[in-house]
Structure 1
Amino acid sequence: MTLLSKRLQAVYQMVDKNTRVADIGSDHAYLPVELLETNIASFAIAGEVAKGPMSRSKADVEKFGLSEKIDVRLGDGLAVINEDDKVDTVVIAGMGGILIKDILSRATEEQLSNVKTLILQPNIGEPLVRHWLADNNFKIVDEDIVAEEHHVYEIIKAQKVNEPVNLTEAQYLMGPVLMQKKTPTFIAKWEHKLNSFKKAVANMHNAKVIDQEKIAAMNQDIKYIEEIL
């Protein structure tokens, strides 16, 4: 995996074999190239929202001789997908949780018609993403957490189901699968967050105007984190 950063390697590991993938905001099409080179995916769309990144992705796809199997397209979010593409897996990596949620919320029924699996890697705002998944009948089946260049990234894999999806507040916050795995990276992240939250609560108590609602919410998060750790 010469092209992929540690973060993208973790995303790559989540993609099932023999899939048709759309990578939204593809960044040089590194992930689609790797998926096709290693015969994980049979077809991929590399979606870009701007012409500059699209040109770079096209050049990289051509360099690897994969223009027949990777279609680089210009478009906003899932607008690059047509029903005829039969895309069953959508990857959105390297964006904020608000933007990922927005992209998914704007997707039409046609664009999501064949999609069974979502692999999402928000840089921040992971609970927002988990809320969207649960609200739209996507069950989280796997999660990973990796540290790279002083940042910790969470990767969430979810599959479409026909029944309601219910998560606890702690699961929205920390991830249902990550809570089970409890890797050293996960523990380090939440120990750091716990200290930050406790300092924030102490500071809020010293403020001129005390926001009791905000303090209560943060104390609740502290309780969840302490219980899981």
Structure 2
Amino acid sequence: MLKLSSRLQNIAQYVTEGSRVADIGSDHALLPVYLVQSGKSPSAIAGELNTGPLLAARKQVAAAGLSAKIEVRQGNGLAVLQPGEADTVTIAGMGGSLMKDILEEGFQAGKLEGVRELVLQPNIGEELVRQWLVQRGWHLAEELIMEEDGKIYELLHAVRLSPDQIKETPDIYDAGFLQVNAAAPSKQRLLLKMGPYLLRKPNAVFFKKWKSELAKLERVTAQLALAEQPGAEEKLQQFKSEMDAIQEVLQCLQTDKPSFS
């Protein structure tokens, strides 16, 4: 059995048993090979744009003896997928802006027809992915923040819900639990930025990430304070407001224990 990194193992755990998987940007096809080897997925598609990783993926699949169950395809994003071919789409290890564009292009082209769940791991720009999920009617079912080899990752698990399920499901973007001095739209933006589940159950990695983000913002504001370009003062105030909001959230979470109850 192929051994995965903790990051890929956590992605694999979100895949529903019995799902046909399309792994976009599959690199060496480690995730599809593991899912089929373990019996969790009956078949998989590994999509890769670049020739080097594509050849590595084909070699990995062949070495595992799974060429009949895993198809390695070259193409850009969800272009490798035909409607109805997959139940689950996984995309990991790229920026949130690129991931959002891949999802939107796939949506526009009908590539997500029949797909019931998305397992997404953006390296940065997680809020862009959450915004896309909201705009396109995907329910964010779970989130995870983790650290491996000194890097922090966020995993998002989204599913399609029926109208009846939507009625019965709590609104995860209801920011009433967030006891900060901000208007409702600002609280909503904080949930998109920091994660509605992660904010409700923050762990040590969550606090580590956002303290690091504050440190980055402090460096940016110090540079902007010395800048003389047009608009620098406005940007400086925007970053300071963002820092104040994040600091208030962290202080709130260190004293409260928000939940869905």
TM-score after normalising by structure 2 = 0.80
- TM-aligned CA deviation for residue 147 of structure 1: 1.7
SS in 2 for 1:141: strand
Which structure 2 residue ranges, 5 or more long, are not aligned?
Answer: 174-187, 251-261
SS in 2 for 1:42: coil
Alignment-derived partner of residue 128 in structure 1: 128
SS in 2 for 1:83: coil
- TM-aligned CA deviation for residue 8 of structure 1: 1.3
Give the ranges of 4+ consecutive aligned residues of structure 1 lying more than 4 Å apart after TM superposition: none
Which structure 1 residue ranges, 5 or more long, are not aligned?
Answer: none
Alignment-derived partner of residue 65 in structure 1: 65
- TM-aligned CA deviation for residue 6 of structure 1: 2.1
Q: Which amino acid aligns with 1:97?
A: G
The answer (yes or no) to whether the contact 1:170–1:221 under 8 Å persists in 2 is no
- Relative to its length, the structure with more strand (as a share) is 1
Are 1:228 and 2:249 matched, yes or no? Answer: yes
Alignment-derived partner of residue 14 in structure 2: 14
Alignment-derived partner of residue 172 in structure 1: 192
SS in 2 for 1:112: coil
Are 1:216 and 2:215 matched, yes or no? Answer: no
Give the whole-Å Cα distance in 2 for the aligned partners of 1:214 and 1:181: 31
Give the whole-Å Cα distance in 2 for the aligned partners of 1:31 and 1:37: 10
- The share of aligned pairs that are identical, in percent, is 41
Pairs aligned (count): 228
SS in 2 for 1:146: strand
SS in 2 for 1:134: helix
Q: 1:146 to 1:2 in 2, by over 3 A?
A: farther
Deviations 1:182-211 (A, max 9, x none): 111111111121233234334423333462
SS in 2 for 1:110: coil
Are 1:119 and 2:139 matched, yes or no? Answer: no
Q: 1:83 to 1:208 in 2, by over 3 A?
A: closer
Deviations 1:46-82 (A, max 9, x none): 0111333222111111111112221111111111111
Deviations 1:108-129 (A, max 9, x none): 4531111121111111111111
Alignment-derived partner of residue 55 in structure 1: 55
Give RMSD over aligned pairs. Answer: 2.2
Are 1:74 and 2:68 matched, yes or no? Answer: no
The answer (yes or no) to whether the contact 2:2–2:33 under 8 Å persists in 1 is no
Give the whole-Å Cα distance in 1 for the aligned partners of 2:245 and 2:60: 45
Bigger-Rg structure (1/2):
2
